Structure 1
Amino acid sequence: MTRIAVVLGSTRPGRRGQTVAQWVADVAARHPAASVGDVAFELVDLAEYGLPLLDEAVPAVFGQYRGEATRRWAATIGSFDGFVFVTPEYNHSMPAALKNAIDHLFAEWNDKAAGFVSYGVHGGTRAVEHLRLALSEVKVAHVRSQVVLSVFNDFDYTGCDMADPTSAGRFTPGEQQEQAVNTMLDEVIAWSTALEPLRATTDAASDGNAVSV
């Protein structure tokens, strides 16, 4: 079975991302591939891992993780075949917590596929531009289709105090957005499946090295 994580990349208190990520996970659970048991989706909330600002003495490419939080994060990411990143846009880029989480690992990301759901004043598109670059360096294949959510059009602020900067509004995605999620998921599933032989080869090589040491 192909396992795909819906990764919530914001750790900010009061984040809109929690609602958005749960919506993505719910849509994913209704995907035909999930319905027949070919694919399993799981919500992974970065805030639950407590990753420190990168403090590993050895570069991640060597896989010599020392920190307990890093090892736990590695075990989680290593168990998946693909990812859907849910990210806001902060100052023309992704959240620092998400970049930090990517930088903590290397091999656990390799030869897997990723799709994106972004939200923000500009739909989060610029965050995904940077996210694609970072993921390329850890050998993640990212699909073309992207779900872009506007804080103006996909959220309802009826009854909210607009003078309150913490007011998140109510998430009300447009009808077309669920189809956009499914289109993106189709690609992530297909690419995750296509990359399976590469992951198998890497795993076999790692096992062989482990035996010979």
Structure 2
Amino acid sequence: MTRKPRIAVITGSTRDARWNHVPADWITARLQADGRMEAELLDLRDFDLPFFDEAASNLWAPSQDPRAVRWQETLAEFDGYIFVVAEYNHSITGVLKNALDQAYKEWNRKPAGAVGYGGVGAARAIEHLRGIAVELQMVPLRNAVHIAAGTFMEVHPLGGQEKPLAEVENAIGGSADAMIEELLWWAEATMAARATSA
């Protein structure tokens, strides 16, 4: 590789009361500390994406809304993604689904990991995300981080005593390490393949 893979960590919630930024900051810092990849946090709050209202996916027709174009141009700079997933009614949030729908070509042939949280660690939402990722021609990773059950209640305000994620590293650190290793492998593999076919 002539350069390190660039990874975007994408927040999956924009609510005022969200907790999404806590795991987003945690996994971004972990990637940066690892040093084998460059990591940048993309907060959906910063993009003001409209509801998808284009004539078609940008696979078939250029997007017209400048906010969508800015999002696409930002995504194109990265070699892989980690989505920080809140689970709403057994699926991903509407804002994350909309962000996924606002691009197509930019997602193609890049790995997609996930950090989920909630009672079941957003397991059902992450499974939905994997299906969407396949349609967008991403490589959904097997490994994910699930901040679930007692671990979730120990660090989330709903548990009555919010703590930093560093305090539950023993429960989630191994999953993060496994996901990062898999992400690196696929990021390097797909970068090489894209360079060959360019």
Give the TM-score normalised by the residue count of structure 1.
0.83
- Native 8 Å contact 2:151 2:171 kept in 1: no
Match of 2:162 in 1: 169
**Cα distance in structure 1, aligned partners of 2:27 and 2:189:** 23
Q: 1:92 aligns with which of 83, 90, 95?
A: 90
Match of 1:16 in 2: 19
Amino acid at match of 2:40: E
Match of 1:42 in 2: 40
C-alpha spacing 1:138/1:171, structure 2 compared with 1 (3 Å): same
After superposition, the C-alpha distances for 1:53-105 in whole angstroms (9 at most, x for unaligned) are 10112322225011111011001110000011111100000001111111111
**Cα distance in structure 2, aligned partners of 1:76 and 1:15:** 23
**Cα distance in structure 2, aligned partners of 1:136 and 1:115:** 12
- Counterpart of 1:109 in 2: which secondary structure? coil
Match of 2:133 in 1: 135
Give 1:201 shift.
4.8
Q: 1:59 aligns with which of 42, 50, 57?
A: 57
**Cα distance in structure 2, aligned partners of 1:104 and 1:201:** 27
C-alpha spacing 1:122/1:81, structure 2 compared with 1 (3 Å): same
Is there any run of 5+ residues in structure 1 with no aligned partner, and where?
A: 205-213
Q: 1:199 aligns with which of 178, 194, 198?
A: 194
**Cα distance in structure 1, aligned partners of 2:5 and 2:155:** 38
| Percentage of identical aligned residues | 34
Give 1:169 shift.
3.3
Q: 1:182 aligns with which of 177, 189, 194?
A: 177
Q: Does 1:2 align with 2:8?
A: no
- Native 8 Å contact 1:20 1:171 kept in 2: no
**Cα distance in structure 1, aligned partners of 2:138 and 2:73:** 17
Give 1:168 shift.
8.6
- Counterpart of 1:93 in 2: which secondary structure? coil
**Cα distance in structure 1, aligned partners of 2:40 and 2:105:** 20
Match of 1:209 in 2: none
**Cα distance in structure 1, aligned partners of 2:77 and 2:155:** 38
Say which is worse superposed, 172-181 or 65-74, in terms of deviation: 172-181
Give 1:21 shift.
0.5
Say which is worse superposed, 58-67 or 101-110, in terms of deviation: 58-67
Match of 1:210 in 2: none
Amino acid at match of 1:41: A
Give 1:155 shift.
4.0
C-alpha spacing 1:161/1:148, structure 2 compared with 1 (3 Å): closer
Larger Rg: 1
**Cα distance in structure 1, aligned partners of 2:189 and 2:22:** 31
Match of 2:104 in 1: 106
- Native 8 Å contact 2:85 2:117 kept in 1: yes
**Count of residue pairs the alignment pairs up:** 193
Structure richer in strand, relative to its length? 1
